[in-house]
């Protein structure tokens, strides 16, 4: 059975803090769009550069771009945690030293 939890609320109300703790406890990947966008911008990825253009203008990042970033995060999480697809690392767009392949507390999941 597939379980998805989605937390909604205004900016800075503690969603990221609470969901990180819950993800750690349940062993789920933690997907916090704010953190994902900040990491993409910091790492100067193609998506991060594009997202920054919207943010700098005071606009919301388009859903299509956020979805692309989330899909990449999930792909990287799965690659970091499933030995049967580890050989794909060489051709992957994932950075296994970064947060995209790590759990909520920054440690690699197994």
Show me where the domains of the chain are located.
29-101
In degrees and rounded to multiples of 5, residue 102 shows phi and psi of: -120, 160
What pLDDT was estimated at residue 82?
A: 53
Report the candidate in 5, 48, 2, 9 with the shortest Cα–Cα distance to residue 23: 5
What pLDDT was estimated at residue 97?
A: 40
Predicted TM-score (pTM) of the model is 0.59
Task: For residue 7, count other CB atoms closer than 10 A to its CB.
Answer: 12
Residues 43-102: pLDDT tens digits? 999 999 999 999 999 898 999 999 998 888 777 766 566 555 444 444 445 554 444 333
End-to-end CA distance of the chain: 20
Give the C-alpha separation, 52 to 96, whole Å: 23
CB contact at 8 A, 61 and 54: yes
């Amino acid at each position: 059975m597939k379980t998805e939890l989605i937390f909604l609320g205004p900016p800075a109300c503690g969603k990221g803090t609470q969901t990180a703790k819950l993800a750690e406890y349940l062993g789920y990947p933690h997907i916090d769009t704010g953190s994902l966008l900040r990491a993409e911008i910091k790492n100067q990825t193609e998506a991060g550069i594009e997202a920054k253009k919207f943010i700098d203008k005071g606009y919301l990042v388009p859903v299509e771009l956020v979805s692309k970033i989330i899909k990449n995060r999930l792909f990287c999480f799965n690659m970091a945690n499933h030995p049967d697809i580890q050989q794909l690392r060489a051709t992957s767009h994932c950075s296994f030293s970064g947060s995209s392949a790590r759990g909520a507390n920054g440690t690699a999941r197994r």
